[in-house]
């Protein structure tokens, strides 16, 4: 079975005209190696904050009207990472949600970063966050979680003043088998990406082949969750349809009412799709934006700029990932020498149709960047790292 699937995959790879592009992506493994990588710093000034309080914050949502950011930080990712394949035994901390009040630059760090208290969250001990999306109108937060039983999109009602997150329920569906990033269309429809068809935990070899050959087997799934909204605890099935297939579907964002942008990490590209007006469950490929790094997550700033962050050098990220549980262990332990190595480099950029791609930051002071989000009004933003300590806050 596995052998047959492997042969099918190889045949697909040979038949598809992606080999040239593959070679270019593999070239990044050489060109962007830490010793060769040319640093870029187009942030006006930056600061790395909260290093002793949070780590592995893959997601940062910026709520510009409120001047706050929602962070999901999962220290458990050092031992349990279903995307990159870390399944270590031992105690597993679960993810926490935080509100960072960045508008108040005078206040102390203690005051500006607050953890949300969960309410009615029965699967709190098995919360392992990836992407999030927030509906400002109803204060509803959607967070992809790689639970052990079956992955889910956990849905919370937030109270930003009381610092609580009340769990409304979980959205689960066989097509949501490896949820990564979420984009809300409206109050009852969303898109969610599944980065791979073959999951590391079931098929480590096929998973690697799929990723490294850049095979278009990841999915963008359209979910109509009206039945969930009507009765969150009722266990009614939601409607899900595959809207597009692409290699390593990662960050997803609506660029405007007719265009959705999806990061294809293993192809070092962002694909733009046109939403069919009569059926949002069908996406039509429009164009591809090539970038010089493996783009992880996307966000859209209020002025329409597409913000992207990711990984210039995959081998460094893999090494960094595999060593974090050792290097971030208890402070009393003596750490191996490699813990002092510079971390996996980060790369952040922005894109507009008129201006093209502009690099904002390339470097290792803040490692493993996954998400960049900008507050246009206040001229600042946040870069968060898959395995970084703290978050990077920059001001223009």
Ligand X SMILES: *[C@@H]1O[C@H](CO)[C@@H](O)[C@H](O)[C@H]1NC(C)=O
Residues near ligand X (CB under 6 A) are 58-59, 61, 130-133, 180-182, 251, 255-259, 272, 297, 299, 353, 370-371, 373
CB 176 within 8 A of CB 247: no
Nearer to ligand X, 9 or 55 (CB): 55
Residue with tokens 């889910």: 152
Provide the minimum distance between the beta carbon of 72 and ligand X in the complex, in angstroms, as a whole number: 8
Provide the minimum distance between the beta carbon of 359 and ligand X in the complex, in angstroms, as a whole number: 19
Provide the minimum distance between the beta carbon of 162 and ligand X in the complex, in angstroms, as a whole number: 23
Strand partners, 391: 49
Distance of alpha carbon 261 from alpha carbon 268, whole angstroms: 13
Q: How many H helices and E strands in the chain? A: 6, 28
Distance of alpha carbon 12 from alpha carbon 10, whole angstroms: 5
For 100, counting Cβ atoms within 10 Å of its Cβ (0-12 exposed, 13-18 middle, 19+ buried), the class is buried
Q: What is the DSSP letter of 55?
A: B
Nearer to ligand X, 258 or 279 (CB): 258
Tell me how many degrees the CA angle 341-345-348 measures, rounded to the nearest 5: 155
Nearer to ligand X, 146 or 313 (CB): 146
Q: What residues contact residue 69 under an 8 Å CB cut-off, 6+ apart?
A: 60, 61, 62, 63, 99, 100, 102, 373, 382
Closest of 147, 39, 140, 134 to residue 95, by C-alpha: 147
Encoding tokens for residue 312?
A: 């210039």
Segment holding 139, helix H or strand E = none
- Write out the E strands in 104-195: 113-115, 117-119, 129-135, 140-145, 152-159, 164-171, 179-186, 189-194
Nearer to ligand X, 113 or 255 (CB): 255
Nearer to ligand X, 150 or 256 (CB): 256
Nearer to ligand X, 180 or 266 (CB): 180
Segment holding 23, helix H or strand E = helix 19-31
Provide the minimum distance between the beta carbon of 259 and ligand X in the complex, in angstroms, as a whole number: 4
Closest of 156, 136, 135, 157 to residue 145, by C-alpha: 156
Provide the minimum distance between the beta carbon of 194 and ligand X in the complex, in angstroms, as a whole number: 12
Provide the minimum distance between the beta carbon of 69 and ligand X in the complex, in angstroms, as a whole number: 9
Nearer to ligand X, 9 or 223 (CB): 223
Nearer to ligand X, 160 or 272 (CB): 272
Nearer to ligand X, 217 or 373 (CB): 373
Nearer to ligand X, 9 or 312 (CB): 312
The sign one gets for the Cα dihedral 282, 130, 197, 306 is: positive
Closest of 196, 314, 308, 208 to residue 262, by C-alpha: 308
Provide the minimum distance between the beta carbon of 83 and ligand X in the complex, in angstroms, as a whole number: 9
Q: Whats the size of the chain, residue-wise?
A: 396
Provide the minimum distance between the beta carbon of 256 and ligand X in the complex, in angstroms, as a whole number: 4
Provide the minimum distance between the beta carbon of 32 and ligand X in the complex, in angstroms, as a whole number: 21
Closest of 50, 47, 55 to residue 389, by C-alpha: 55
Provide the minimum distance between the beta carbon of 130 and ligand X in the complex, in angstroms, as a whole number: 5
């Amino acid at each position: 079975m596995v052998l047959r699937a492997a042969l099918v995959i190889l045949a697909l790879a040979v038949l598809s005209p992606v080999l040239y592009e593959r070679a270019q992506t593999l070239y990044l493994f050489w060109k962007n190696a830490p010793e060769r990588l040319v640093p870029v710093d187009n942030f006006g000034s930056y600061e790395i904050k909260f290093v002793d309080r949070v780590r592995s914050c893959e997601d940062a949502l910026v709520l510009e009207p409120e001047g706050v950011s929602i962070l999901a930080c999962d220290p458990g990712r050092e031992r349990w990472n279903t995307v990159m394949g870390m399944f270590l035994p031992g105690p597993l901390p679960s993810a926490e949600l935080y509100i960072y009040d960045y508008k108040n630059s005078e206040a102390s760090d203690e005051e500006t970063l607050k953890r949300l208290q969960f309410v009615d969250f029965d699967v709190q001990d098995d919360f392992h966050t990836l992407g999030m999306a927030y509906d400002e109108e109803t204060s509803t937060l959607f967070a992809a979680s790689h639970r052990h039983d079956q992955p889910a999109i956990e849905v919370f009602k937030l109270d930003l003043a009381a610092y609580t997150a009340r769990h409304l329920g979980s959205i689960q569906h066989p097509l949501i088998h490896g949820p990564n990033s979420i984009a809300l269309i409206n109050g009852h429809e969303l898109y969610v990406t599944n980065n791979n068809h073959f999951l590391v935990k079931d098929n480590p070899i096929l998973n690697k082949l799929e990723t490294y050959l850049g095979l278009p087997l990841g999915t963008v799934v359209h979910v109509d969750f009206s039945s969930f909204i009507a009765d969150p605890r009722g266990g009614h099935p939601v409607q899900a349809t595959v809207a597009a297939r692409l290699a390593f579907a990662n960050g997803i964002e609506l660029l405007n009412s007719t265009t959705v942008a999806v990061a294809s990490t293993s192809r070092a590209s962002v694909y733009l799709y046109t939403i069919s007006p009569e059926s949002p469950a069908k996406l039509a490929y429009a164009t591809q934006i090539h970038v010089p790094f493996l783009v992880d997550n996307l966000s859209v700033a209020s002025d329409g700029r597409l913000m992207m962050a990711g990984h210039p050098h995959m081998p460094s990220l893999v090494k960094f990932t595999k060593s974090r549980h050792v290097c971030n262990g208890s402070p009393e332990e003596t750490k191996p020498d490699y813990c002092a190595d510079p971390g996996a480099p980060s790369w952040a950029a922005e894109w507009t149709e008129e201006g093209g791609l502009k690099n904002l930051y390339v470097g290792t002071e803040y490692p493993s960047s996954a998400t960049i989000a900008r507050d246009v009004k206040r001229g600042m933003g946040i870069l968060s790292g898959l395995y970084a300590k703290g978050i990077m806050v920059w001001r223009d």
